[in-house]
Amino acid sequence: MPTARVIPGSTSSPVILHVPHASRHIPAAVRRTILLTDPDLATELDRMTDTATDLLAEQAAHHAATRPWIVQNTVSRLVVDPERFPDEREEMRKVGMGAVYTRTSHGTPLRHPDPATEQALLNDYFHPYADTVSRVVTDRLAATGTAVLLDVHSYPRLPLPYELHPSGTRPAICLGTDPAHTPPHLLAAAQAALAPCGDLSLNTPFAGCYVPLHHYNTNPDVTALMIEIRRDIYLTEPAGPPTPALNDVVAALTRLINEAPARPEPNPARPATAERHGWWSPHPRCTRPDHRDRS
């Protein structure tokens, strides 16, 4: 089973909906390394899965004027979390939640720390997944000249114990940005499209957005934005069925897909290179600039 499911969109679309945390699937061999009982594992999956974000992405793609591409993680983030650094750069390692989790959202043991197991999981799941996302981004660049990566997440109304910054406001929509890859026109499009969902905040309670390491800080034609949707606005928490309000979120995400490819006209008074690189600023981080405690 591939670690990433790619749902093709229009050949003319630069938009990629990235859905990394919607799956609950844990392969049998990986399940044997997890210490939780089946009921406790089900509870942890309820807490940590971005339930129905795959449904949100697929429905929005279906309604979009030009169908975007979708990349979905086919395994649970309890197998590997593709949005974490796979090494000591990852700040979430301090709570046992690096790329390979050793602790649950409540700090109890999830699996025994073991470098060999961690490396095997990175080789089997993390790196193939990252390669797939990078390939899709590269393909969109080749086909359209740009790639717009919309990182689709959800998060609970109340903070979980693992969160490093639990005191931040928890709006209906949190938009995560990167100083090098989130241009003003993309942020403005998201704010306008998603405003009907409720209050919006930037980089709180979570910050940053996913950009494949191969493209990070090297190509301004790869733009990105994280969309964190508070779960209670579209489903019954923690992982219950979607509510009718899911349709409103789908409509808002569809509007963003339609507007995201638009780029401002170059200012004739400024050199083209200055316009193109106006939002470009170096940053020491790679995949997510803040590498925040993920939802």
Q: What is the pLDDT of residues 97-138, one digit of tens each?
A: 999 999 999 999 999 999 999 999 999 999 999 999 999 999
Phi-psi group of 208: left, alpha or beta (phi > 0 → left; psi -120 to 50 → alpha; rest → beta): left
Strand partners, 285: none
Q: What is the pLDDT of residue 249?
A: 98
Cα 150 to chain center, whole Å? 7
Instruction: Work out the average pLDDT over 88-96.
Output: 94
Which candidate, 4, 16, 15, 292, places its Cα nearest to that of 155?
A: 292
Q: What is the pLDDT of residues 13-25, one digit of tens each?
A: 999 999 999 999 9
Q: What is the pLDDT of residues 254-283, one digit of tens each?
A: 999 999 998 765 544 333 322 222 222 222
Q: What is the pLDDT of residues 134-170, one digit of tens each?
A: 999 999 999 999 999 999 999 999 999 999 889 889 9
The number of beta carbons lying within 10 Å of the beta carbon of residue 282 is 7
